[in-house]
Amino acid sequence: MVAKDKMKILLITLSASASLATLVCRESEFSCDGSRCIPRKWLCDGDPDCTDGTDEMTTNCPAKEGDGARSCRASEFQCGNGNCIPQTWKCDGQDDCRDNTDEESCEKTCRETQFQCVSDKQCITKKWRCDNQKDCQDGSDEENCEEEVVTVPPHMFRCASGITIPTRWVCDGQEDCSEGSDEKDCPGGEEKKPVERSDPCRDNEFQCGAYCIMATWVCDGGVDCPNGEDEANCDKECPESHFTCSNKQCILGHLRCNGEKECADGSDESECPKVPAVTDAPKVECNLTSHFLCSLNKCIHRRNLCNGRNDCGDWQDESEEECGVNECERNNGGCTHLCVDSKEGYHCECRTGFRLVGKYTCEDIDECLEVPGTCSQQCTNTNGGYHCSCLPGYERDPGNYTRCKASTGEPYLLFSHRYDIRSLRLRDNDMTSVVSDAREATALDYLFTGHQIIWSDNKENQIIRANITTPEEREILVTGEQVSADGLAVDWIHNHIYYTDTGNFKIRLVSWDAKWSKTIVQEELGQPRAIVVSPLDGYIFWTDWGMSPKIERAGLDGEGRTAIVTAPHVYWPNGITIDLPNNDLYWCDGKLNTISKARLDGTQIEVVLFSPSVLRLPYSITVFEDRLYWTDWSQLALYSANKFNGEDIHNVSAGHLLESPKVVHVFHEYRQPSGENVCNGHSCSHLCIRSPVGMAKCMCPDGLLLSTRDSISCIEGELPDIVEPSSEPVNPVIPIMPSDFDYNKEEIIPLETYKYGKISTLETSNFSLIFSVGVGSAVVLAIVVMVLVGLWRKRVAAEVPHMRFPNPVYRKTTDEEMDGGGYIIGHDDLLFKPTTVQYSEGPDIPEGDADDTPLAPKK
């Protein structure tokens, strides 16, 4: 008994000593009651990191005089609850303060050049007013048009649908009005026959409208054309896993009666079984294996037995009869965290942020690695939790400290809209036309620092550039009958333009001044579509929806090409984009109805969103902050969703769109962050790019070669062709004869040679000359050898008396050093490293032998 008491006293003493020991934190850290250290920069950031919240208490945080609220900077807005947010977040349509004070008193006003819709107060350009197209959600832009005097400029033509096009497009053989009114009543009394497309679909493709799809996709049960013509008039029976629509269209069986019309005729939603009305649920008998039946006829789960709570209502579940011995009272049952007693025994549980390993031990969960989207950008794992932080230029949302938002600038969506290129301000969905009078605007990108936009017009077969402020002043960068660019990307660091030439099945690079162009990828290209560039890493990425669908990556010069994503992860890959803060690659697939992501090397592939309704035919995708934005061939809308889990889907396009948007980009400075231009200071004569290892590399445009003399200049010429050897003689080589040779008596020896100058045969029997020359040479060679042997013997004999090592220096080395080679191998890197050896002179050496004595290395 005495020994037991002594042991108790010892344990109490040790426990008291342990409690007195305080954790000493560094100067850059803050102490949470001496039990934990956190970085001082986490202090007063609005997110409690100490378990007791001391890092956010007013005693540790600077307060504004008077009311105790935190003081905001001049560039910030103070919320009603005391939080501070950037001024740019005020009236952006999002409750950033979490008390809605940043969205109060936000009266929307339109510019003089805009018309304000009645119901939602949206602003649209005035030229859309009374154009027979409802651009406002409520159609107010088409009301009271009788009072409006709508004038069409002389250089414009109004289509029957109401849209206006340049008069030069009228009667040119191409239908630019959606209903073809621009090609009617043309001179000559007959409608002009439309000109065939310069890029028709190939033999293994099917044309639906203005697009091509793989012929193997026709009548496969999935709608791939916007109007469903690929699944119309299909005579073959649908597979058992599919449902046959009334129009013989095939759809997946699980889409039947799901509340969405998948069949073009809506037959998949007809004659659906009615959902039975909810009635009083029958009494469920208690499963005594997993549940416990209380005396009050109440069934509870067995895990609720002996948990200290009155779950039965009469404490039967906590009685000694049911619970028996409480093993948790002794040494906490051996559990490192929580011990839960039960009738059958007990089990261990862990606190939030930990998980059970084995039966007793709890280990920390690394939420940063295991839970996607735990933080918007930077995530630091802590013991039992985590801490989120933002990159420079971003600030944490005070209402949700795991989210980061841009602190400066206002994001817009730039998207091609066939006849024009439009911008959509995300703050209030204000939409306006940036570029007008386009015939078939498809691919686009921009240079933020120069406020320039570049786009492809696939009907004009051109790539065009203009300043956003003066879009009417345009430069044609690339033109040609076969030029058709579905994808276009700007290298904003080195000022290059990349595009997928779908008409010629190439990927090409164009210098910013359009003087030089180069084909960087050509071999084994199927159907290249979208392209994105990462100049900070030295890579380009593109999608290919050909017979072997894939996503490929290569250097900015096209070298090091590799397929990083292949089937089954892609089937019809279209749009592609890079989330720069997180180094993630996103793409959309029109056949799989998915948006997926991966790392930039193609690893860690995961599906973010699957939806046959909002991802029916996704075409283009972009990302900014925590949101994805995409377009769809079959939808007159722009969509948005959370980039981590695909939730919170919204239609962000305001008003009515005349055409399906094509390519979309977020226009913001953080989408093109500044970086080092490794080509500055390098005098490449034509093109300079960054290699993936960060080095500058000179390149030459098509038709020129890089000089091997300086590796920076380009010269004219072509790579030499490899010529196979020929058996035909060419220009026989005539041997040089002695000056006293008698050409009348001796016969000239003809030699046959190949193109490479190799002697093949000797076609003469006159060997007298060769024999005399050979004998003379042998005699001379023998004399020379005898002289050299004699000199060598004399030299060896002379060296013996002087063989010594004056001033020797011997230094112990490890087995890592290699004698005589001047190289060492380190255990760490196992690389050969050159070392420098210095030599000193030895003592005086007898004259004539100075070259015979080795020099000793210096200390």
Main-chain phi, psi angles of 743, to 5 degrees:
-70, -15
Instruction: Note the Cα 616 to chain centre separation in Å.
Output: 22
Residue written as token pair 């345009």: 474
Distance CA 357, CA 350 (A): 10
Q: SS3 letters for 55-79? A: HHCCCCCCCCCCCCCCCCCCCEEEC
Q: Residue 103 is encoded by which pair of tokens?
A: 């969205």
Distance CA 474, CA 452 (A): 10
Distance CA 508, CA 517 (A): 7
* Region class of 771: left (phi > 0), else alpha (psi between -120 and 50), else beta: alpha
Distance CA 244, CA 847 (A): 108
| DSSP bridge partners of 499 | 488, 508
Residue written as token pair 């069949």: 263
Looking at residue 795, its pLDDT comes to: 58
User: Which of the 8 DSSP states describes residue 677?
Assistant: -
Q: SS3 letters for 3-40? A: HHHHHHHHHHHHHHHHHHCCCCCCCCEEECCCCCEEEH
Are 652 and 429 spatial neighbours (Cβ–Cβ below 8 Å)? yes
Are 706 and 717 spatial neighbours (Cβ–Cβ below 8 Å)? no
Looking at residue 792, its pLDDT comes to: 64
CA nearest to 485, candidates 416, 566, 565, 577: 416
CA nearest to 401, candidates 51, 619, 83, 697: 83
Residue written as token pair 């004219």: 716
Bridging pattern class, strands 823-825 and 832-834: antiparallel
**H or E element in which residue 753 lies:** strand 751-753
Distance CA 467, CA 452 (A): 4
Are 689 and 697 spatial neighbours (Cβ–Cβ below 8 Å)? yes
For residue 455, count CB atoms less than 10 angstroms from its CB and return exposed for 0-12, middle for 13-18, buried for 19 or more.
buried
Distance CA 339, CA 356 (A): 12
Looking at residue 754, its pLDDT comes to: 34
Are 650 and 628 spatial neighbours (Cβ–Cβ below 8 Å)? no
Bridging pattern class, strands 485-491 and 496-501: antiparallel
Are 490 and 445 spatial neighbours (Cβ–Cβ below 8 Å)? yes
Are 573 and 541 spatial neighbours (Cβ–Cβ below 8 Å)? no
Distance CA 697, CA 678 (A): 9
CA nearest to 590, candidates 611, 564, 604, 608: 611
What CA–CA distances, in Å, run from 698 to 557, 559, 560, 759, 855? 9, 13, 16, 41, 46
Number of Cβ within 10 Å of residue 93's Cβ equals 12
At residue 839, the 3 state secondary structure works out as: strand
Residue type, 785: V
In the chain, the largest separation of any two C-alpha atoms, in whole Å, equals 137
Q: Residue 494 is encoded by which pair of tokens?
A: 């080195």
Beta-strand ranges (E) seen in 59-139 are 76-78, 84-86, 114-116, 123-125
Beta-strand ranges (E) seen in 615-699 are 618-624, 627-632, 638-642, 650-651, 664-667, 687-690, 696-699
Radius of gyration of the CA atoms of the chain, in A: 40
Are 615 and 632 spatial neighbours (Cβ–Cβ below 8 Å)? yes
Q: Supply the pTM of this predicted model.
A: 0.64
Distance CA 205, CA 190 (A): 32
List the end-to-end C-alpha distance of the chain, in Å, as a whole number.
75
At residue 792, the 3 state secondary structure works out as: helix
Q: Which residues of 574-584 are buried (b: 16+ CB within 10 A; e: fewer)?
A: bbbbbbbbbeb
Q: Residue 333 is encoded by which pair of tokens?
A: 């049952």
What CA–CA distances, in Å, run from 856 to 302, 598, 818, 823, 838? 87, 60, 17, 18, 9
Looking at residue 343, its pLDDT comes to: 66
CA nearest to 448, candidates 670, 763, 159, 769: 670
Bridging pattern class, strands 84-86 and 114-116: unpaired
**What string of DSSP letters covers 376-434?**
SSEEEEETTEEEEE--TTEEEETTEEEEEEESSS--EEEEE-BS-EEEEETTTTEEEEE
Q: Residue 704 is encoded by which pair of tokens?
A: 């020129």
Where the chain has pLDDT below 70, the residues are 1-23, 34-35, 45-46, 58-60, 62-70, 93, 133, 146-155, 162, 188-200, 210, 221, 236, 241, 275-284, 343-344, 654-656, 717-776, 791-859
Bridging pattern class, strands 156-158 and 164-166: antiparallel
| DSSP bridge partners of 638 | 631
Distance CA 571, CA 591 (A): 6
